[in-house]
Chain A
Amino acid sequence: MNRIIAVHSYKGGTGKTLLSVNLAATLAKHGKKVGLFDLDFRAPSLFAILKVPNTEYWLNDYLNGTCDINKVLVDLSPRIQGKNNFFVCLANPATEAIRDMSAKDRKWEMRALGRLLSLRNTLLNDKAFDYLIFDTSPGLQYSSINAIVAADFVVVATTGDRSDVDGTSRMLRELYNLFEKKTGLVLNKVLDSSSKSKKDEMHRKVKDVYQVPLLGLVPCFCEVLRAEGNFIFAQDKPDHPFTKILDEMAKRIENNEVS
């Protein structure tokens, strides 16, 4: 079962956070108990997107070993009209906290990996969470690789941009493969995917280039951009095609069709 999912990409701006938030919200709407984690300590964003007031404990504190994970979990179930099933753990957006996180040494990172790995016991086994979604920083860096190692499955967000295609292929070969991680590719910001034949062509192309299963194709939606990250799209626009695509993705993950 793929219960811990890391959302990662080579380049920034590929839509990791948008995918993480909406995938987590969609799984929660399907009745699953979901924890969404902001592991992008260089540029924390869930704090702003989800507008969580008065955060006292951050994921930084948990990884530093100064508090329990239960103190970091914020219950946002009412946002998706759920009950006790949608939680977030936020990264501290203060400049000082970002600086502190970027100055950690190898031994700290090793302990942080241990703490991420132990979430399987504390949250999945003891607290009956169904899914943990890790939103990460782009590229090869400690916090992201820790998240990948701790995960069962990596959702790789990519766009059609040349620089992104090369880097993503390399990461698939030299990062996820070395850790024997299952991956699913999400091709984001796709132009012109209206017809079935175009979609099939895209699927073939992705399989040829990356040689990994395609988890989803997300067209470029102006409405998503226009929302400016002000709300959880899949929650607030239930009839939008974007929401339907996320719905399909979540179902494929739930039915274990991605491995």
Chain B
Amino acid sequence: MTKEEILGKKPLQLLEKIKENLERLNEKMEVMIELQKHGKKDTQPIQDASLDVMTLLSMPDHLRKTAMTICRCGRATAEEIAQQTNRARAVESAYLNQLVIMGYLKKERKGRKAYFYADRESQGEK
């Protein structure tokens, strides 16, 4: 952004932009922390791992709770999941991002919100 552009914007808009960027940064850091905790260095998403019931059963409890909630909701933000699991938004955000990296969930940005969902339909027939 040039100086003219910054001066031309209203302070509130600028602050919102900063907040949005900070939130993104925060999410990325949460993922990094989660990955470090579990000693995983590979950040390449596994292509299309299926989130079926046997997979759910074999997951660690903390991730299963998040994955089950996403299964029920279909498509949700970390905030919406947090409301159902009674855990902090930041915690759910970290778990959701971890599930994305593991290939079980897909993430889509719409404006300032990030939606998570299990991609059931697009994965080849049978």
Contact = CB atoms under 8 A, between A and B. Distances in A.
Given A117-B71, A149-B71, A179-B68, A109 B61 contact: no
A113 to B, nearest CB: 6
Given A145-B57, A175-B57, A110 B52 contact: yes
A108 B53 CA distance: 11
B120 to A, nearest CB: 4
Interface string B39-80: 000000000001111111100010011001001101000000
Interface string A105-121: 11111110110010000
Size range of the interface on A?
10 to 19
Contact of A106 (B52, B65, B71, B118): B52
Chief secondary structure at chain A's binding surface: helix
Contacts of A179: 56-57, 64, 68
The residue among B52, B53, B126 with the most chain A CB atoms within 10 A of its own CB is B53
B126 A142 contact: no
Given A106-B50, A110-B50, A178 B57 contact: yes
B68 A110 contact: no
Given A142-B52, A142-B53, A107 B123 contact: yes
11 contacts: A106-B50, A107-B126, A108-B126, A109-B50, A110-B50, A114-B118, A145-B53, A145-B57, A178-B57, A179-B56, A179-B64
Interface in A110-150: 110-111, 113-114, 117, 142, 145-146, 149
Given A117-B74, A149-B71, A180-B65, 12 more contacts: A106-B54, A106-B55, A107-B50, A107-B123, A108-B126, A109-B54, A110-B120, A114-B121, A145-B53, A178-B61, A179-B56, A179-B57
Nearest to B73: A117
B60 to A, nearest CB: 11
Nearest to A179: B68
Given A106-B55, A149-B56, A111 B71 contact: no
A104 interface: yes
Given A105-B126, A117-B72, A149-B71, A111 B53 contact: no
Contacts of B65: 180
Contacts of B126: 104-105, 107-108
The residue among B50, B61, B118 with the most chain A CB atoms within 10 A of its own CB is B50
B124 interface: yes
A175 B54 CA distance: 10
B65 to A, nearest CB: 8
Contact of A113 (B52, B57, B61, B124): B52
A180 B85 CA distance: 12
Contacts of A149: 53, 56, 68, 71
The residue among B64, B120, B121, B123 with the most chain A CB atoms within 10 A of its own CB is B120
Nearest to A111: B120
A110 B72 contact: no
Contact of A145 (B54, B61, B120, B123): B54
A175 B53 CA distance: 11
Contacts of A146: 53
